Amino acid sequence: MSTTDPRPATGRLSRRDLIRSGLATGAVASVGTGTVGSLVLGGRRRGRTQDWADAAPIAEVAQPELRVDTVAPRLAAVAPSSEGGAALAAMAAGSGALLAREEGIAPFTVIGVRFASDTSAEARVRVRRRGEWQPWDHLHVGEDHRPDDVPSDGRHRSDPMWVESADAYEIELPGDARDLEVVLVRETDEIAGYAQVPAVTSFAPQPTIHPRSSWSARPVGSIPVAPTVQSAIIHHSAGTNGYSQAQVPGIIRGIQAYHIDGNGWSDIAYNFLVDRFGTLWEGRAGGVAKAVIGGHSYGHNTRTVGICYLGTLSGVAPPAAAVHSITRLVAWKLGLHGVDPRGQSLYTDYGGTTKWLSHVTGHSDVRQTECPGTLYASLGAIRRDARVVQQPFRDVAVDGFYQDAVIWATLIGLTTGVGDTGLFKPDDPVSRAEMATFLHRMMDSQRPTIANRFPDVPDVSFFTTAVRWLDEAGLTTGVGTSGLYQPGEWVTRGQVATFLHRMVGRPAPAGPSGFGDVSRGAFYDDAIAWMAQHRITTGVSGTNRFEPEARVTRGELVTFLYRLARTASAWSGPVPSTVLF
């Protein structure tokens, strides 16, 4: 699959791109202006097995009770603390520092500040949680964290910082700080629902997006919509990176409450949010497929989509799962509007200034801020990989159980398709040579040190190094006592399970597999039980069978590998860089 095709000068995708990608069988309206009309994605679900986890059911979600309090605590002069490093020490140079402190107050989950200062916009906070004062955190402060139509009041305002649950805070500000207001969000309930936004056709497959109902979003009024989306602006939020999956809906509710009640905005500022586990969440109301005008970057909210990573990426690398999900989201969202994520185009901001803007850009490219932290270094890869996602294999069905797995395998270099056909051939069986190559690439293409000892493996072939690695890693000793590897033989599902189990260190399963056709004591028994335990397999659709003697298909193999890459608990040996946890 080529990823270097020339693109239109505008950075938008032409009808020829659609046809070459095998995506357009209907009309395309006004591609030059970024409006994609009726598209019909080719492909259909095929193959013998389902073998994928069912989507979580849509749940009715109650509206939790939120309270947002704005207080004006007393400021006291203090000596600047040295704990914050050079940047925070410089905050108070020449003017000292001021401290605001409140203790023994009702628990709060989110904190933020607004203040005026002529010398600095630096601020930091620490909170007391479960009786212990936590380390100082830098607050992301600026005047541009607002919608385009909200005028500045001359004060610096911070992003909301999620603190889990705290009952005291200290805030350190520049020595000339004044007009301080502290905004605290308090929540009485933690209710999480699970749902999925219905898919909308684009150049790229739509990733799973949890709708506003999944995090109990507050209903809001009408949100304006732009004619198109031109760029994605990437952000990170404030607060810890150590939250659990169950806490994510509450974090997003807290941000929404802060933006609405603390800042007086119409809704949460970001169009989408992604957590550290790679889960995508619908943010601002109006519809995920529409060009909803956000409030994430003053002057650059119209014709852009704001995507926010939940957590602070200052000095820590972004999780691979989050980067992968942002890539998928960017490919789909920009694809809806015919935009090539690798390109640039002229952008006229809210103030009327026209400039070139990358189609995937960081918040720091349009405003003076450190946001999105270390995620900025991943933007080049996101642009490149999002374009790859927009050029899928023609034979990968949009509703195929293997679709997400094939995209992941393509992005990390596990596959480039079958020859130069532009096809993945998901229903074809897998040979032992191909299986060796898939597994070797997933394990970072490690270089073996032993020579090839199988007479039926050529000294030079696409699979020779992979088979040598399998041998050295103890994953194979050949077929039976033949002394041969038999690279052209088809691989069964039971054999693949055994190879994967060996690859991760042969962890003991917690119990039997539960499949009626997996005999206790068979060579693949423990391996299939391990796969079932970690939901790497769910068996053949609609049955209680695994079909261990059936040939594994290319779609099934990459699905197994993709699930393995997302499941930390399944590994007991060395973990490669290709995983998503």
Q: Which of 327, 328, 403, 415 is nearest to 41 (CA)?
A: 403
With a CB cutoff of 8 Å and minimum separation 6, the contacts of 118 are 176
Cβ burial 343-371 (10 Å sphere, 16+ → b, else e): bbbebebeeeeeeebbbbbbbbbbbebbb
Which residue carries 């990459």 as its tokens? 558
- Could you tell me the mean pLDDT of each successive run of 10 residues in the chain, 581 residues long? 30 38 29 25 34 35 63 62 42 62 89 86 88 88 72 82 91 87 78 61 84 93 92 92 92 93 92 97 94 91 95 92 96 92 87 88 87 94 92 83 92 90 94 97 95 95 97 94 96 97 95 95 96 96 93 97 96 91 87
What is the per-residue pLDDT for 65? 65
Note the Cα 231 to chain centre separation in Å.
Answer: 18
pTM: 0.75
Sign of CA dihedral 243, 244, 248, 254: negative
* Domains within the chain, CATH numbers bracketed: 53-60+191-389 (3.40.80.10), 66-187 (2.60.120), 403-570 (no CATH)
Whole-number Å distance between alpha carbons of 570 and 559: 15
Largest CA distance in the chain: 83
What is the per-residue pLDDT for 366? 87
What is the per-residue pLDDT for 534? 97
| Cross-strand partners of 360 | 232
Query: Any idea what DSSP says for residue 473?
Result: T
Whole-number Å distance between alpha carbons of 444 and 414: 10
Per the CB < 8 A criterion, the answer to whether 195 and 211 are in contact is: yes
Q: Is 424 helix (H, G, I), strand (E, B) or coil?
A: coil
Per the CB < 8 A criterion, the answer to whether 496 and 431 are in contact is: no
Cβ-in-10-Å burial (0-12, 13-18, 19+) of 545 comes to middle
Per the CB < 8 A criterion, the answer to whether 505 and 572 are in contact is: yes
Q: Which of 379, 356, 359 is nearest to 309 (CA)?
A: 379
